[in-house]
Structure 1
Amino acid sequence: MKIASVVGARPNFIKLAPVHKALARNPEIEHTIIHTGQHYDFEMSEIFFKEFKLPKPDINLKVGSGTPGYQTGEMIKRIEKVLLRSGFDLVMVYGDTNSTLAGALAAVGSKTRLAHVESGLRSFDRRMPEETNRVLTDHISNYLFASTRTAVGNLRKESVQGDIVYSGDLSVEIVDEAVRAGAKSDVLDRLSLEPKSYVLLTIHRVENTTASPHNLATIIKAIKALKDTTIVFPIHPRTLKAIKDSRHLPALSRCKNLRMIKPLGYVDFVKLARNASKIVTDSGGVQKEAFLLKVPCITTRRNTEWVETVDLGWNKLVGSSDAQAIIEAVQKWAPVGKKPRAVFGQGKASAIVRDRIVSLLESKIEEN
């Protein structure tokens, strides 16, 4: 069986790791990694392959940066070219990035079966490009691996045509592995931080950076006001550019409570997250990681695809247009006392994905 995984951005690499290891345990599977090049610098790409002991991508398309339309279009063309000459039995895509949608459309164009890992998530906010990416990918996939029962319900409500499988979420095993590896991480020492003495901040979404100067200014206003709270801010390249373009960088550089640092590897990031008193983020993945690590999460969005984290009281949606709401959540809010349940499965998602794919492909091959 010839299977190709299309990846290109930090969240894709993280999800790929346990799936690749599971596929490698089956000698009947030849697994090819296609890297689109959506993220291409060391901090956002290569470091994750090293940390998770992934082999170098078999194919690197080196698409690079550009507008969403240009980037996605270039990826589709280059991925489709690879698929048409390689004869894969299945293409796998992960999550909701531009690389996810490009890989999905290229698979359909080359008449290759398509599996979407982490399908069925919905924020019901079409302003988010990630929402469009995942909805479109779900509706053209042959096999859909859903992280939660809520995601399964979303897919059934939308009457998707593919085979739906409840797999649980890959992050359970990924975070567990990162916590174990984090025993050797010295990130707290390097940053001179004590456990639970700081708030971890991540901001990268378009609606909080390039698309909305107001939202970005509001978040920065909250940072300045929280002068008695140490804030550690691993800064995404897009966010740094937006801060520079909006001329906020000099003022932020003067904030004594703010520690702006380069993006971290995953093991260091999980160690930093696990030891934070709270996490402020607009990232879907970080919301989920905070939940699994039992760290209170404050989300600078009006909605979330990870509704379970809110329902169980460990995630508070504060939006990004009201600085006072962010400030009060950091200073006063705490989880309501409910303990996180195993809503993301039992840490067996990669094995479930592998075994179900093998079964499905074998049945299709027998039919042919």
Structure 2
Amino acid sequence: MKIITIVGARPQFVKAAVVSRAIEEFNANKGDCNIEEWIVHTGQHYDENMSAVFFDQMNIPKPHYNLEINSLSHGAMTGKMLERIEEVLLSERPDWVLVYGDTNSTIAGALAAKKLHIKVAHVEAGLRSFNMRMPEEVNRILTDRISDVLFCPTQTAVDNLKNEGHDTIDIKQVLCGDVMYDAALFYADRANRPVTVTEDAGFVLSTIHRQENTDDKEKLTCIFEALKVIARNQKVILPLHPRTIKKLENFGIVPDSNIQILEPVGYFEMIWLLINCSCVITDSGGLQKEAFFFKKPCITVREETEWVELIHNKVNFLTGSDKHKIVETFNRIKKVHIDFSMNLYGEGDTGRRIVEELVGFEL
């Protein structure tokens, strides 16, 4: 059985590491069926800190193909990926194409496979922000509709698919838990302090990269004004995407001196930051969940989130880019006890369940 895994962005490397490890364990324990995995890296995140460090740190098998497609518009990037991935699939003829999340790499991989009648499995299916202005939302919906198996991390994701009529379509849905929870459990003891961080604990961890914030001068200004206020009394550590740095420069926004800007960090460094911070402020999807895994309150500077169960359980708080709402929410959550005892994302065995489902489907 041959699987081609399509990745291109940092969160996908982490998710793929979980399933790749589960494939290795399956091959070691099941003599009657061998799974061959080939990894295709589209190149969407391409520099050392945004890509290669993840493969090195997490022992992910090196990509068999690196397509080096980046720094293009959405249409040009997706079209180029579709063309190049199709070439790989025609050459390799896999049984499955495995895609993750909601990036341009995700939809390009799924679409290329579907047009060649190769089965598609979508990990992290069924998520919805209900904001069709988000490119990620478009990618999610289209990928779910053309996949053969949908691996859903939460009951909310299953319910979203049902509400869209997926129960009437010949697509298998599997409630399997979240691969990111597997990763958090497995890699927590490998946490590594970033070399430029001197604080031991108690700082605020922030990441800002989503296009809806970085491309809007008013929103980006308000977010950094809020961080400036927070940084007066508590250190803010901000690993920053190169694209966000360019936007700050273009808009003439100068971060406060008590906000420590880091280059993008590896997964083990991010885990260390999560373990040792007091709070997370982000517009990332994945970091909202990771804050929960490590029992840290999260302020999400977006108008909506795919991870609505975090909002309902009052461990994550939506503020949008409103400066005063961000600061008020930060001050409020410092004074209250937050319960992180609920189980929202499975038992930490999602990688194994995904592999066994694929093998069972094939047989």
Task: Report the TM range for the smaller structure's normalisation.
Answer: over 0.9
Deviations 1:89-126 (A, max 9, x none): 11000011111111111111211110000100111111
> What is the rounded CA distance, in whole Å, between the counterparts of 1:165 and 1:85 in structure 2?
30
User: CA deviation digits over 1:44-70, x for unaligned, max 9?
Assistant: 100110111012101111112211111
Structure 2: state its 5+ residue gaps. Answer: 28-33
1:313–1:336 CA contact under 8 A, matched in 2: no
Structure 2: distance between partners of 1:30 and 1:122:
32
Please say if residues 24 and 31 of structure 1, whose CA atoms lie closer than 8 Å, have aligned partners that are also in contact: no
2:193 to 148, 165, 186: 186
- After superposition, give the CA deviation of every residue in 1:21-64 in whole Å (9 maximum; x if it has no partner): 11123341111001101111011100110111012101111112
Match status 1:86 vs 2:96: no
Cα distance per residue 1:197-222 (max 9 Å; x no partner): x1111000000002x11110111111
Deviations 1:5-36 (A, max 9, x none): 00011011010001011112334111100110
**Structure 1 unaligned regions, length at least 5:** 363-368
Q: How many residues align?
A: 352
Q: Distance in 2 between matches of 1:69 and 1:167?
A: 32
| Aligned residue runs from structure 1 range 207-356, under 5 A | 207-210=212-215, 212-226=216-230, 227-248=232-253, 251-252=254-255, 255-320=256-321, 322-334=322-334, 337-356=338-357
Structure 2 match to 1:366: none
Aligned to 2:120: 114
Report the CA distance shift for 1:72/1:340 in structure 2 as closer, same or farther (over 3 A).
farther
Q: Tell me the SS of whatever aligns to 1:256.
A: coil
Preserved contact between residue 38 and residue 99 of structure 1 (Cα < 8 Å) = yes
Residue 170 (structure 1) aligned with residue 179 (structure 2)? yes
**Distance (whole Å) between structure 1 residues aligned to residue 299 and residue 146 of structure 2:** 33
Q: Is the 8 A contact 2:193 2:273 kept in 1?
A: no
Code of the aligned partner of 1:186 = R
1:171-224 CA deviation, whole Å, 9 max, x = no partner? Answer: 111011221111xx233x74110212x1111000000002x1111011111122
What's the offset of the Cα at 1:131? 0.9
Per-residue deviation at 1:225? 2.4
SS in 1 for 2:94: coil
- Provide the rounded CA distance (Å) in 2 between the counterparts of 1:177 and 1:234: 23
Does 2:143 correspond to 1:134? no
**Aligned counterparts, 1:17-28, within 5 A:** 17-27=17-27, 28=34
Output the CA distance in 1 between the equivalents of 2:25 and 2:184: 21
Structure 2 contact 301–320 (Cα < 8 Å) conserved:
yes
Contact kept? 1:225, 1:327, Cα under 8 Å:
yes
Letter of the structure 2 residue corresponding to residue 222 of structure 1: A
Q: Between the two proteins, what is the percent identity of the paired residues?
A: 42
* Secondary structure of 1:26 counterpart: helix
Normalising to structure 1: TM-score of the pair? 0.93
Contact 2:193 2:272 in 1 (8 A): no
Displacement after TM superposition at 1:336 (Å): 5.3
Moved over 4 A (4+): none
Matched, 1:33 2:39: yes
The SS at the match of 2:173 is strand
Corresponding residue number in structure 2 for 1:200: 205
Q: Is the 8 A contact 1:8 1:37 kept in 2?
A: yes
Question: Secondary structure of 1:343's match?
Answer: coil
CA distance in 2, matches of 1:219, 1:186: 26
Q: Matches of residues 64-79 of structure 1 in structure 2 within 5 Å?
A: 64-79=70-85
**Using the alignment, how far apart are the partners of 1:167 and 1:65 within structure 2?**
34
